[in-house]
Structure 1
Amino acid sequence: MAIAVSALALTACQATNPENVISIDRAQGAEGNIASLTQVIANNPNDAEAYNVRGSAYGRAGEFQDALKDFNTAIRLNPNFYQAYANRALIYRGMGDLAAASNDYNKALQINPRYDVAYIGRGNMYREAGQANNAFNDYNRAINLDTTDPRAYNNRGLIYQKRGQHKQAIEDFSKSISLSPSAPLPYNNRGLSYLALGDQENAFTDINKALQLDKNIAEAWVNQGLIYEQRGETGKARNAYARAAQLDPKYQPAKDGLARVRG
């Protein structure tokens, strides 16, 4: 058990970059969709919502400057467009301008204090900055507003997990899974908390489920390797660690696991 617990902080899935959190279908970042949205704007040049949607599509495509221009226009056309402020905050986060992102989240919440998406986005920003308590408070606010966004529960669960409060973490990961059963990361994260509590069977089931949903999660392969290693199944552990290292050659837990089983 010592191996798994010591690796816990390293193998939880922490992804919260803008590509993961802009709430718009990924397909809308495709060139064809941006072209169709551009035609909508050409026909309705004063439609703030159209600029907001195209800005989100640009954000999905990684074209942050174009996204900023569209969100700026949306806000100019509708100064109370709190969704556009929150979306622009995501772009600022992606560009590393946390001060501007914070200002936009605060503005969105000033306009609409019940906007759960802004609490979650600001919470993610706080968590990435190492301000876990502020992040925890924002996730709580979103959850108290009866959010149906699974990220609020998954990300609060990560904070519980880091604090060693694994029963609470499992509850949050389970809620996140119930809201989005096809998302792999909460399964991996819940598996880690099961592992920390000594429930290897449920941990193994969850980690394998995460890999069934997405075979490209290096962290989940390492976690699977940890369990195989605990079981004394060295060959299977080696294969899992090797797969993680193939996916992410710089991922230290994968390299450490390979070193142990080779030794």
Structure 2
Amino acid sequence: MLKEPKVSPQDKAGAHYNRGSAYIRLGDGPKALVDMNEALRLKPDFSRALQTRAGILIAQQKFDAAIKDLDKAILIDPKSSSAFNNRGMAYMGKKNPGKAIADLSKAIELDPKDPASYTTRGSAYMITGDKPKAMDDLSKAISMDAKQTVALYNRGALYAGGGDKVKAKADFEAVLAITPGHKEAKAQLAALAKTGG
């Protein structure tokens, strides 16, 4: 289909997007990026391709380029919770928790059932030192999806920092039940054991 002369640019853009998405599932970011670039060359206002390319760029720690794509995606589709969520993640990568919280709050407003937005916003609140809001968001994410390892780990860290060793231990053990090789959770449990937790 990609080499057929009679196929419209819109359809070719869709085919590149689909193949790029398959490359992402296979863990091949560079090939996925080539396809997303081509999809956007053929269809510059392709919001899903902009968001997907931004996700690849975030994984490559190219946060400014990701934000540029997400700014455009939001202009095209201002009700896209995933675009706001991804831009919030990019701002977290840039160590700008204030902008991240604003975007993640908008993502939650648009889709209050997405645990990933609560997890990331909770992490941003941790950075700003707002522990009660961080705890609320992380607990909300975990109540929606008990396999949110980032939320479990960060909530465990909050519990440990607040002296609640029992709850901290439970969260770190839950992380290890999901991801047995999680080095940070193992280290936290070892530290708790040394202090009698």
TM-score under structure 2 length normalisation: 0.88
Q: Write the deviation string for residues 92-126 of structure 1: whole angstroms up to 9, x where unpaired.
A: 23334444423322232223211111111111112
Are 1:109 and 2:22 counterparts?
Answer: no
Q: Using CA pairs below 8 Å that are at least 6 residues apart, which structure has the higher relative contact order? A: 1
Are 1:173 and 2:104 counterparts?
Answer: yes
Quote the residue 2:7 is aligned against: 78
Aligned CA distance change for structure 1 residues 99 and 192 (closer, same or farther; 3 Å): closer
Task: Tell me by how many angstroms 1:232 deviates.
Answer: 0.6
Alignment-mate amino acid for residue 78 of structure 1: V
Aligned CA distance change for structure 1 residues 96 and 224 (closer, same or farther; 3 Å): closer
Bigger Cα Rg:
1
Q: Distance in 1 between matches of 2:183 and 2:79?
A: 35
Q: Distance in 2 between matches of 1:212 and 1:190?
A: 15
Alignment-mate amino acid for residue 43 of structure 2: N
Aligned CA distance change for structure 1 residues 201 and 97 (closer, same or farther; 3 Å): closer
- Does the CA contact (< 8 Å) of 2:92 and 2:100 recur in 1? yes
For 1:230, which of 157, 161, 167 is the aligned residue?
161
Are 1:217 and 2:181 counterparts?
Answer: no
Q: Write the deviation string for residues 8-65 of structure 1: whole angstroms up to 9, x where unpaired.
A: xxxxxxxxxxxxxxxxxxxxxxxxxxxxxxxxxxxxxxxxxxxxxxxxxxxxxxxxxx
For 1:205, which of 117, 121, 136 is the aligned residue?
136
Aligned positions, number: 191
Q: Distance in 1 between matches of 2:80 and 2:171?
A: 32
Alignment-mate amino acid for residue 63 of structure 2: A
Where do 1:1-263 residues align within 5 Å? 72=1, 76=4, 78-80=7-9, 81=11, 82-263=13-194
Which structure 1 residue ranges, 5 or more long, are not aligned?
A: 1-71
3-state SS of 2:77 partner: coil
Q: Distance in 2 between matches of 1:254 and 1:235?
A: 14
Q: Distance in 1 between matches of 2:105 and 2:14?
A: 28
Task: Tell me by how many angstroms 1:252 deviates.
Answer: 1.8
Which structure 2 residue ranges, 5 or more long, are not aligned?
A: none
Q: Distance in 2 between matches of 1:103 and 1:119?
A: 13
3-state SS of 1:105 partner: helix
Alignment-mate amino acid for residue 49 of structure 2: A
CA RMSD of aligned residues (A): 1.9
Task: Tell me by how many angstroms 1:230 deviates.
Answer: 1.5
Q: Distance in 2 between matches of 1:100 and 1:147?
A: 28
Q: Which deviates more from structure 2 when the two are superposed, residues 150-159 or residues 94-103?
A: 94-103
Q: Write the deviation string for residues 226-248 of structure 1: whole angstroms up to 9, x where unpaired.
A: 11111111111111111111111
Aligned CA distance change for structure 1 residues 173 and 119 (closer, same or farther; 3 Å): same
Task: Tell me by how many angstroms 1:172 deviates.
Answer: 0.8
